[in-house]
Copies of this chain bind each other. A is one copy, B any other.
Amino acid sequence: MTGPVKITSKTEVEEFLSKYDDFLFDCDGVLWQGDVLLPKVKETLDLLRARGKRLIFVTNNSTKSRKAYTKKFFKLGIDVTAEEIFGSAYSAAVYLKKVVKFPADKKVLVLGESGIEEELANEGIQFVGGTDPTLRRDIEPEDYDKIGPDPSIGCVLSGLDLHLNYLKLSMALMNLQVPETLFLATNIDSTYPTHGKLFPGAGTMCAPLVLASKRQPISLGKPSKAMMDCVKAKFEFEPTRTCMVGDRLDTDIRFGQDGDLGTLLVLTGVNKESDILAENAEIVPMHYMTKLGDIFELLI
């Protein structure tokens, strides 16, 4: 592996683009920061499309379905189809349907929001929990008798659940004490960066369950191999002709590396130039540039 090569000239952009047919993009910190589109992102994406490149947007956000997530792009003026988006909720649904071949008569107990429910429903997978309003309440004395392993539940799937509570955690734990129950997580990000601050991430939803059940979930988000397998199965790209673009070394760049893809780090998010030039840097991208919009700016 060579690198990191900093891309700063027209020639370097042309050389970079000639290497890849398909591009996988992380979104937050690459395309936008929160609700603000980064400079020349739209122009760069249009340019890549005009040159016949295929664009795939990969996100660990499980609270929105792919369809709901397109609205975020539209609001910022970017054209996209749901088919070009690969979210961790969709990843989990595909994993259950295609890899596990989850039984039609079993249900998934969801700790999470509507994004997971919509993707499971799209794949014809039965589920309970999720946004069910009857579970958005305190645990009551009679629940301690009632709650137990439910033989109809074959999987606990945990994502970011803004309505997490002790009742749902208890239900999930009971089912995880049955060794046959699958334990999946849409992703295990420890934090959720928003509003310039770090809030608890999806990984903190399953942390109580990991501790109490002594089990580890299979993660279907970056940087897991399970997600990469699902992406590859869907888009059938040639890894050496595909580049993963992201702002985080430990998720995006590692995800690309583990999948034998090319990697491009942009410096508009979490990691800085000093992180990859440090002597003890563990994860180093093949290429990096100041911002994604440099592709457009350097070419014109």
Contact = CB atoms under 8 A, between A and B. Distances in A.
B166 A139 contact: no
Give the size category of A's interface with B: 35 or more
B197 A147 contact: yes
A21 B106 CA distance: 58
Contacts of A231: none
Most buried by B among A177, A191, A211: A211
A200 B170 contact: yes
A208 B203 CA distance: 8
A208 to B, nearest CB: 3
B212 A208 contact: no
A173 B200 contact: yes
Closest 10 CB pairs of A and B: A204-B208, A207-B207, A144-B195, A207-B211, A190-B211, A207-B208, A190-B212, A169-B200, A162-B166, A191-B212
Given A161-B166, A204-B212, 7 more contacts: A139-B162, A145-B195, A147-B197, A173-B191, A200-B208, A200-B212, A203-B211
28 contacts: A144-B194, A144-B199, A148-B197, A162-B166, A163-B165, A163-B166, A164-B166, A165-B165, A166-B200, A169-B200, A173-B199, A173-B200, A174-B197, A190-B211, A190-B212, A191-B212, A198-B212, A200-B208, A200-B209, A203-B211, A204-B208, A204-B209, A204-B211, A204-B212, A205-B208, A207-B207, A207-B210, A208-B208
